[in-house]
Structure 1
Amino acid sequence: METAVSPPPDRRFAVSLFSRLRTAKGQANPFPIYAELRARGPVVAAPWGGHLVTGFDLCDRVLRSRDWLEPDARWREQQGDGTRWTAPSSREMSRTLPALNPPEHTWVRRSAGMFDRTSLQEISGTVGRTTTRLLDTLGERLRDGEADFNALVSEELPIATIGYWLGLPTADFPRLRELTHDQVFTQELLPSASQLATSDAATAELRAYFMELVRHRRAHPGEDPVSRWIATWDALESDQDKADEAVYFLALFVLLAALETTSTLLSTMTLLLLEHPRQWDWLTVHPDLVPAAVEESLRYDPPTHVISRVASQDCALGGVEIRKDEMVHLMVGAAHRDPARHEEPELFNLHRKPAHLAFSGGIHYCLGAPLARLEAQTLLRQLVGRFPGLTLVRRPAWAPRVAFRRPLNLDVALI
């Protein structure tokens, strides 16, 4: 057991830091601010209580340890009425797989049974064909000048992939994508009241959509994942309503996880390579480095910059005393630039040995990681082969977020 050897740092410093992170400039490039935070030590007091963790090894240790828990339904209820944790959207998210702790997490994760090698082989053809179609459209737009890669490709590939896998009508894709962007605010680090209201409304609409989907699949079962989940949960739960709700939470989790962060990965990966033309040029000649490019993108600017955990007991972390049920925010975006872990961490380097926490770790390692990698690698292989002259027109604008990165555009052209 680690011993606390120093008092928690002054919280006033972090107040200033987060004020800057929430500006357009801070969201476009938070990394200089992270460097200031990291310079204060691997564990820094958060303005609203709890602590911020910036050291890579400490973040990795917390994610792998069963002594650190998800902020589950029990923990959220303890925060009291009127807090962001008891908003309807937050309560709903507390029942999805990422917010569960063992033993419930264990059997829900097992029931999901998704994205194994067989499933990925089935999906890979869809990903390849969809990528080709989307890049055909991109090519047509580029012949007329510049095009928004984010809107034409990054936003379309994940919803087409997961929508096909779940057997959803293509006409529903645009609305589901919009709802996902709105829903994610409840998972943000510091959501405003208006953002929470937006998330609450989106969550309610998503619940109605997927509960109707479950009811339809129960009446008309097929070979799709939702039908398989219904059969699985009927064997686990005698109450049909509870079984249907469990399937709904799996479908909701899959949609939210598959769309938001993967879209960001696809755009950020492309942005980083175009901002580093020597690396882009090297990749066009050496496409065998595509997997390495995806992993370095995940390290350099991951889709999720913050992962939160709560202490299961009184403990010490990085020499700082942490009380039971106190929250720590793992600043993954900062930890990925920790010089104690990576040599020259500010350098975007395709030849670096992969080491990142973009998919979390431990028992909560992202179930969708293989699918996200499949989409990113498929896209990048086709992109460098078909558009070696792709260039960045302007830097993108970013959504008003701290934890969940999201570029709003990615304007490109051909040279």
Structure 2
Amino acid sequence: MTAVGDISGTTTDRRAVISLLRRLRSPEGQSNPWPVWEQMRSLGDVLPAPWGGYLVTGYDACDQVLRGRNWLVPDLAWQARQPPSERWQAPAAQAMSRTLFRLNAPDHTCQRRGLGNLFDRNTLASLAPRVAVHARRIVDELADRIRDDGEADFVTVVGDQLPVLATGEWLDIPARHHAHMLDFTHRQVHSQELLPTKTELAVSAQATEEMRVFFTGLIRERREAPGDDPISHWIRYWDEQFPGDPAAADQTVFDLVMFIAVASLETSATLMTNAVWLLTRDGGAAWNWLREHPEHVEDAVEETLRYDPPVHVNSRIAAADTVLAGTPIAKDQMVHVMYGAAAHDPRRHEDPYRFDILRDSSHMAFGGGIHYCLGAGLARLEGRSLLTALLNRFQTLRPVSVPTYAPRMVFRRVTSLKVTTDDDPAAPRAPRPLAEDPAGPPAGGCPVHRTQRP
């Protein structure tokens, strides 16, 4: 079975990929990964990884892996079949392998059934007013910081804050714990890298232990004084599934809460910071256009997800011998879905290096198949709410310097984005209401940005 629009099977020497991966992890590659992705894709849809396995770069091949039933996640059973590996035996990796992120059917099906439709229309509608309040408050704080200091770091003041405020309130976790949650989440994800170092594994192990202490304590408190929050509901549900074994129920609830913390805080923060950077760079033409056409805020969020997805790499294993884009893949062989490269495949997206708010095309930033992101609706709500608050608060918002990034290849993370405004700092806080424009976009469309190609 092969992907649509195959290039050809790959005969690329694994060593030819090493320099590209090094560039991708470097500061230059983090700030501008697009030329590296372009070169990877030019070598084929499926490339041999230097450490074994394959990198999948073409959109259709990636989509096939994410949606196909003959592709699995590398769960604990798969790990047990592999030679001893420090990476898979590390405490952080073992802990994550018990979460939904690393479960296959029937275990995955069982846990998903227990969660139900986590962020359905009614849940999102109930969360929306509070998310909007949080967004306006932290945007006002951003304005205050800029007024006092001339500039502010968007990541620390806004980008990191809205996801933990929204998720923390949803889980009924007091605000005094939010900073700690952010800290151990940022450190834990090192274990998800393709080739984590010993130092990174040690950092992740410490963060995982802190998460265990914090969330097991939280679960114990909810068991003693249950409420109407998701954690209390999950305790009740899993108590029914494990009658007489509260320890097994608590372990399952811990795995769920840990997964939600890692999956929601990092990715949503990156989404929102990326959106601001892409809209305000190059003179802010896209920002100005979106202020005049706020009905396209959702489109701006979707194009940000395509253009620079919060997760750049995901991994799967072949459930049986198969062929992917002309390349034979043996059972149990691992492949790495390169989201970023796939998002800029010209066979799927016309002129893919253009950031175009009005682009009408799909993306795979939330994955696909049974592992499609549970929090996609919440992430979109947060992005929409924050952009609306920013557009209302600032007539102009511009970067002081380019973003800086953590040296990662899997979870994308902007560590700093300094911004400022040309607005009058003495202007009142009351925003200019942004009403929908019944006339729609101008004949010329919206301003677009093009990344320099290799």
Quickly name the TM-score band, shorter chain normalised.
over 0.9
Offset of residue 83 of structure 1: 2.7
Offset of residue 13 of structure 1: 0.8
> 1:80·1:86 contact (CA, 8 Å) conserved in 2?
no
What does residue 266 of structure 1 align with?
A: 272
Letter matched to residue 59 of structure 1: C
Distance change in 2, residues 1:34/1:219 (3 Å): same
Distance change in 2, residues 1:235/1:266 (3 Å): same
Give distance in 2, aligned partners of 1:152 and 1:204: 27
What does residue 336 of structure 2 align with?
A: 329
2:252 alignment partner, one of 246, 249, 263? 246
1:93 alignment partner, one of 74, 96, 121? 96
CA deviation profile, 1:84-136 (whole Å, cap 9, x unmatched): 11111101100001111011101101111321122112211220111111011
Structure 2 counterparts to residues 183-198 of structure 1, below 5 A: 183-198=188-203
Letter matched to residue 377 of structure 2: P
Letter matched to residue 198 of structure 1: V
1:310 aligns with 2:317: yes
1:27 alignment partner, one of 25, 30, 51? 30
1:387 alignment partner, one of 374, 389, 394? 394
CA deviation profile, 1:201-243 (whole Å, cap 9, x unmatched): 1011101111111111111100010000011111111221101
Secondary structure of 1:329's counterpart equals: strand
Tell me the percent identity: 48
Give distance in 1, aligned partners of 2:174 and 2:350: 47
The range that moved more, 271-280 or 330-339, is 271-280
CA deviation profile, 1:294-321 (whole Å, cap 9, x unmatched): 0000000000000110000011101011
1:44 alignment partner, one of 44, 47, 54? 47
Letter matched to residue 42 of structure 2: A
Letter matched to residue 147 of structure 2: R
Distance change in 2, residues 1:254/1:6 (3 Å): closer
Secondary structure of 1:412's counterpart equals: strand
CA deviation profile, 1:9-62 (whole Å, cap 9, x unmatched): 210111111111121111111110110000001111111000011100111111
Offset of residue 81 of structure 1: 2.9
Relative to the length of structure 2, the TM-score reads 0.89
Give distance in 1, aligned partners of 2:380 and 2:179: 23
Give distance in 2, aligned partners of 1:216 and 1:224: 12
What does residue 366 of structure 1 align with?
A: 373
> Which is helix-richer, 1 or 2?
1
Letter matched to residue 19 of structure 1: R
What does residue 127 of structure 1 align with?
A: 131
Relative to the length of structure 1, the TM-score reads 0.98
Structure 2 counterparts to residues 79-158 of structure 1, below 5 A: 79-113=82-116, 114-144=118-148, 145-158=150-163
Offset of residue 337 of structure 1: 0.3
Give distance in 2, aligned partners of 1:164 and 1:387: 27
> 1:68·1:311 contact (CA, 8 Å) conserved in 2?
yes
Give distance in 1, aligned partners of 2:78 and 2:12: 25
Gaps of 5+ in 2: 423-454
2:76 alignment partner, one of 50, 73, 77? 73
Give distance in 1, aligned partners of 2:337 and 2:289: 34
What does residue 215 of structure 1 align with?
A: 220
Give distance in 2, aligned partners of 1:204 and 1:109: 25
Secondary structure of 1:307's counterpart equals: strand
> 1:165·1:224 contact (CA, 8 Å) conserved in 2?
yes
Give distance in 2, aligned partners of 1:300 and 1:68: 25
Letter matched to residue 288 of structure 2: D
What does residue 349 of structure 2 align with?
A: 342
> 1:8·1:321 contact (CA, 8 Å) conserved in 2?
no
Number of residues of Structure 1 aligned to a counterpart in Structure 2: 415
Letter matched to residue 152 of structure 2: A
Give distance in 2, aligned partners of 1:94 and 1:189: 15
1:56 aligns with 2:63: no
Task: Say what the alpha-carbon RMSD is for the aligned residues.
Answer: 1.4
What does residue 438 of structure 2 align with?
A: none
What does residue 435 of structure 2 align with?
A: none
What does residue 415 of structure 2 align with?
A: 408
> 2:72·2:317 contact (CA, 8 Å) conserved in 1?
yes
Offset of residue 268 of structure 1: 0.6
What does residue 443 of structure 2 align with?
A: none
What does residue 451 of structure 2 align with?
A: none
2:229 alignment partner, one of 224, 232, 248? 224
What does residue 449 of structure 2 align with?
A: none
Secondary structure of 1:52's counterpart equals: strand
Offset of residue 7 of structure 1: 5.5
Offset of residue 8 of structure 1: 3.7
Gaps of 5+ in 1: none
Secondary structure of 2:409's counterpart equals: coil
Give distance in 2, aligned partners of 1:206 and 1:241: 17
> 1:359·1:366 contact (CA, 8 Å) conserved in 2?
yes
